[in-house]
């Protein structure tokens, strides 16, 4: 991995020199835009919308649209004078319980590695966070943008999660929120039963990106010149749920079958089968078995 940032964590009067690494990477399959007939890469030119001339990178500046067709142009000098006091520091602001932070605020994840002689204070902060069962709220500037972030421990490594600012989270404004819609107690109980039947421990390695795997298969087939076989659908699409309670019950049963558990409702229906005992008196049909044997003997 290549460090993308160097600085120091300011923990009270303690300074911890660290390097910042991207902790995640997208595994999405990327494509280039090409000419369909000969596979040539498509190139784009940076042209000015006013005079139509091709513009070099040196002549490109940042512009802020203030509306009405007017633009404010900012240069590198304008950005250089901004008061980013956290440009090379990760300032710890406070320590809070992890549950206080809504996951919707999290953006990107980075690993922190101690640099030089900073291993001892690094381990000190790491173990202190573990013992306190809290995360640190910090500020950091990455690529000239100040961001709020958290410091927490993951597999004995300090992890920095950048966060969105509160005004960057949109307010959900949906019509149904103004309607008086309530779930019945029986429906809530059945939904709770469904949740219990599907409960488990999250193991991310058990989940795979089926689309990416199928797309890679298509690409490999193209490379190798093989025939692409379309896999058969193994699961039918669920029918539209008309009765919410019935759909919940069916979901519980399916979840239990998937886990190899015996469904509870059939066990309750067992007495009904006993009431139909008179039908079992037709068991003399089983005595007809000797007739089959007799047929075999005659053969």
DSSP 182-203: ---HHHHHHHHHHHHHT-----
Model pTM above 0.75: no
Distance CA 216, CA 221 (A): 8
Distance CA 23, CA 2 (A): 11
Distance CA 137, CA 254 (A): 43
The reported pLDDT for the residue numbered 75 is 81
CB 3 within 8 A of CB 20: yes
The reported pLDDT for the residue numbered 249 is 81
Q: How many CA atoms lie within 13 A of 218 on its CB side?
A: 9
Tokens of 259: 């886990």
For the chain, the DSSP string reads ----EEEEEEETTEEEEEEEEE-----PPP---B-TTT-PBP----B-TTT--B--GGG--EEEEEETTEEEEE-HHHHHTS--TTTTEEEEEEEE-GGGS-GGGEEEEEEEEE-TT-HHHHHHHHHHHHHHT-EEEEEEEETTEEEEEEEEEETTEEEEEEE--GGGSPPP--GGGGS-----HHHHHHHHHHHHHT-----GGG---HHHHHHHHHHHHHHHTPPPPPPPP-SPPPPPPSSHHHHHHHHHHHHHHHTTPPPHHHHHHHHHHHHTHHHHTTTHHHHTHHHHHHHHHH-
* Cβ-proximal residues to 247 (8 Å cutoff; 6+ apart), any chain: 241
How many CB atoms are located within 10 Å of the residue 122 CB?
A: 22
The reported pLDDT for the residue numbered 237 is 58
Distance CA 148, CA 146 (A): 7
The reported pLDDT for the residue numbered 69 is 83
Distance CA 229, CA 217 (A): 10
The reported pLDDT for the residue numbered 257 is 81
Burial class (CB in 10 A: 0-12, 13-18, 19+), 131: exposed
The reported pLDDT for the residue numbered 142 is 84
Written as tens digits, the pLDDT of the chain (299 aa) is: 899 899 999 887 888 999 999 998 888 888 889 888 888 889 888 999 889 899 998 888 899 998 888 899 988 888 777 776 556 889 899 999 999 999 999 999 999 999 988 999 999 999 999 999 999 999 998 877 889 999 999 999 999 999 999 999 999 999 998 999 999 999 999 999 988 988 888 888 888 888 888 888 888 888 888 766 666 665 655 555 457 778 778 888 887 887 776 645 444 444 444 444 444 444 444 444 444 444 444 43
């Amino acid at each position: 991995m290549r460090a993308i940032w160097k600085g120091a964590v300011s923990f009270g009067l303690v300074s911890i020199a660290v390097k910042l690494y991207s902790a995640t990477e997208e595994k999405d399959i990327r494509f280039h835009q090409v000419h369909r007939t000969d596979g040539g890469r498509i190139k784009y030119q940076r042209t000015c919308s006013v005079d139509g001339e091709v513009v070099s990178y040196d002549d490109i500046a940042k512009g802020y649209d203030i509306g009405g067709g007017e633009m404010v142009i900012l240069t590198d000098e304008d950005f250089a004078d901004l008061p980013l006091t956290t440009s090379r520091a990760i300032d710890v602001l406070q320590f809070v319980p992890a549950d206080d932070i809504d996951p919707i605020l999290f953006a990107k994840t980075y690993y922190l590695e101690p640099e030089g002689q900073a291993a001892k204070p690094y381990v000190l902060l790491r173990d202190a966070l573990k013992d306190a069962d809290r995360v640190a709220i910090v500020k950091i500037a990455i690529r000239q943008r100040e961001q709020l972030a958290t410091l927490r421990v993951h597999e004995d490594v300090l992890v920095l999660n950048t966060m969105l600012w509160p005004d960057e989270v949109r307010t959900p404004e949906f019509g149904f929120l103004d309607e008086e819609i309530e779930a019945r107690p029986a429906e809530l109980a059945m939904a709770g039963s469904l949740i219990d039947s599907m409960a488990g421990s999250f193991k991310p390695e058990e989940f795979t990106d089926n689309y990416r795997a199928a797309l890679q298969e298509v690409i490999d087939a193209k490379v190798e010149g093989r025939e692409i076989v379309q896999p058969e659908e193994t699961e039918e699409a669920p029918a539209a749920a008309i009765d919410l309670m019935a759909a919940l019950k069916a979901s519980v049963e399916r979840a239990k079958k998937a886990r190899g558990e015996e469904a509870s409702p059939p066990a309750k229906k067992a007495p009904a089968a006993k009431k139909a005992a008179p039908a079992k008196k037709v068991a003399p049909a089983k005595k007809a078995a000797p007739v089959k044997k007799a047929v075999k003997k005659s053969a």
